[in-house]
Amino acid sequence: MALRRKVMGAKHIAQRGASRDRYTRQQNRLVTEIAWGTIWSRPGLPLKVKSLVTLGMLAALNRPDEIKGHVLGALNNGATPDEIVGVFVHAAGYCGFPASNGAVRQCVEVFREQGLV
């Protein structure tokens, strides 16, 4: 949970933890244990690189519901706005412009919320 909080921020963790139904709480526990406790905690890649790779995969999968949270995580891990947008521009060649365009729109929303644009 400490790594998840470090990357995603306390606000994100509080929102996820505030779930009132047992199904969402159960899913949140699985994400914390498996994604953060095992996958994100593995050595070998710096957190910034993991964040940028994750953003590329989310663009490829066209998962706008996950992109905003991980853009904030990438910023928390030291990625610059230019590096983040660079991932999404690069994704246009492999994932298509609709996925790239949507990802850029999502990250610009986060940049605005963070006072970066």
Distance of alpha carbon 10 from alpha carbon 84, whole angstroms: 21
DSSP 114: T
Q: Residues 38-76: pLDDT tens digits?
A: 999 999 999 999 999 999 999 999 998 899 999 999 999
Q: Residues 66-105: pLDDT tens digits?
A: 999 999 999 999 999 999 999 999 999 999 999 999 999 9
Q: Band of the pLDDT at 6, cuts 50, 70, 90? A: confident
Please name the residue that has the structure tokens 């921020």.
Answer: 9
61, 100 in Cβ contact below 8 A?
no
Domains by residue range for the chain, with CATH: 1-42 (no CATH), 45-117 (1.20.1290.10)
Q: Band of the pLDDT at 15, cuts 50, 70, 90? A: confident
